[in-house]
Amino acid sequence: MKVDGKHYRSIWLDADGWSVCAIDQRRLPHEFVLAKITTCEEAADAIRNMLVRGAPLIGATAAFGMALAMRDDRSDPGIDRAYDMLIATRPTAINLKWALDTMSAMLRRLAPSERRDAAYARAVDIAGEDVTINQGIAAHGLALIEAAAAQKKPGEVVNVLTHCNAGWLATVDWGTATAPIYLAHDRGIPIHVWVDETRPRNQGASLTAWELGHHGVSHTVIPDNTGGHLMQHGMVDLAIVGTDRVAANGDVCNKIGTYLKALAAHDNGVPFYVALPSPTIDFAVADGRQIPIEQRSAQEVTEMTGRTADGRIETVRVVPPGSPVANYGFDVTPARLVSGLITERGVLQADGAALLAAFPERAKQT
């Protein structure tokens, strides 16, 4: 997607042919800063510290991390070390494990002398495949937005609610939940997005709003608790969110608060869709209760960072000292609350049979 007229992906191989560039997402929306990743350790740090985040981008970064590791040590123990370091960074997004399994299985089939170049080629492919997948999600999700637009009177807009950032910054390009939104906007469908701010890290307010603004998509940032009210008043036509892991039965794990939006949508008859690329399906977990939920630092809740009127970036404390804090990063929305799964192979029912029929090769990899 474009930033000030220039096309960017969220991660790419540098022109030097070996180091990796990424947008430092911790600095947005205040500053647009590029970061250079030159070792597997730096790739692991980038994922752990959320310089990069979002399930598909975590996977792509891990793939590049494996390639960087192969510059230093192409032995079998070298593959193991890189795998162990990268897999330990974040627990919930399954794209991380998918990318590492894909890379390590491919590398183990090769002689050590072939591994570095093959690792780079596969990492670049994984990044490219993510973009193609998201374009597929865009095409299938567009039909849902077109159907909502067909119900509108002239001059009315389609109102979509989204949570967290499942935009191009969370993927390599296009996004998952945002892909149909960008395509609808580009096709001239009048569309407006309600953007949940998504405390505590504010991925909605900081990242989704920034992305949509740069693409010229009409949007409004709302405090996290607003969606139910909007749905009660007919102000949301459909919700589209992303996901970090979909269980074999269609349960959906996504950023904390997604479940409450799905409940409100169900109560108000608002269609609730989840957009996902196939590497986000985890056929190894039977249902959402088995998905590990990341707990992050209390600091993310007790502090907020922003830009002051005179341009300084400042962090302030918003919780009384001494008050205990809980910071669960994700929750699980049961499949029964999901109207459909928007995938690169079509919009599926949120159930195990539909997932298996659409992605039998993913089930076999498990």
| The only residue of 20, 55, 68, 184 in contact with ligand MRU, by rule CB under 6 A | 55
| The only residue of 56, 78, 141, 180 in contact with ligand MRU, by rule CB under 6 A | 56
Q: Is 213 annotated as a binding residue?
A: no
Q: How far is CA 115 from CA 79, 123, 127, in A?
A: 10, 12, 18
Distance CA 52, CA 90 (A): 11
Radius of gyration of the chain (CA): 20
Residue 234: count of CB within 10 angstroms of its CB: 11
| The only residue of 176, 206, 208, 343 in contact with ligand MRU, by rule CB under 6 A | 176
Site string for ligand MRU, 249-278 (x = CB under 6 A): -----xx-----------------------
Read off the tokens for 82.
């890189």
Read off the tokens for 86.
């990268």
Site string for ligand MRU, 98-137 (x = CB under 6 A): ----------------------------------------
352 binds ligand MRU (CB under 6 A): no
| The only residue of 65, 141, 204, 242 in contact with ligand MRU, by rule CB under 6 A | 242
141 binds ligand MRU (CB under 6 A): no
C-beta separation of 254 from 218 below 8 A: no
Distance CA 160, CA 296 (A): 29
243 binds ligand MRU (CB under 6 A): yes
Q: Which is nearer to ligand MRU, 55 or 239 (CB)?
A: 55
203 binds ligand MRU (CB under 6 A): yes
| The only residue of 171, 278, 333, 339 in contact with ligand MRU, by rule CB under 6 A | 171
Distance CA 327, CA 313 (A): 24
Site string for ligand MRU, 74-93 (x = CB under 6 A): -------------------x
Paired with 314 in beta bridges are 306
DSSP 204: I
- Whether 244 sits among the annotated catalytic residues: the reply is yes
In the set 173, 196, 237, 244, the catalytic residue is 244
Q: Which is nearer to ligand MRU, 119 or 355 (CB)?
A: 355
Q: How far is CA 330 from CA 54, 88, 285, 313, 338, in A?
A: 12, 17, 16, 28, 16
Distance CA 186, CA 182 (A): 6
The DSSP secondary structure of 295-361, one letter per residue, reads B--THHHHEEEEE-TTS-EEEEE-S-TT-----B-EEEE-GGG-SEEEETTEEE-SSHHHHHHH-HH
CA-based end-to-end distance of the chain: 33
- Residue 171 CB, shortest distance to ligand MRU, in Å, is 5
Query: Residue 238: phi, psi to the nearest 5?
Result: -155, 155
Read off the tokens for 306.
């922003």
Paired with 245 in beta bridges are 253
26 binds ligand MRU (CB under 6 A): no
Q: Which is nearer to ligand MRU, 120 or 194 (CB)?
A: 194
Q: Is 250 annotated as a binding residue?
A: no
| The only residue of 119, 170, 252, 337 in contact with ligand MRU, by rule CB under 6 A | 170
166 binds ligand MRU (CB under 6 A): yes
Interface contacts to ligand MRU, rule CB under 6 A: 53-56, 93, 164, 166, 170-171, 176, 203, 242-244, 254-255, 329
Name the residues annotated as catalytic: 244
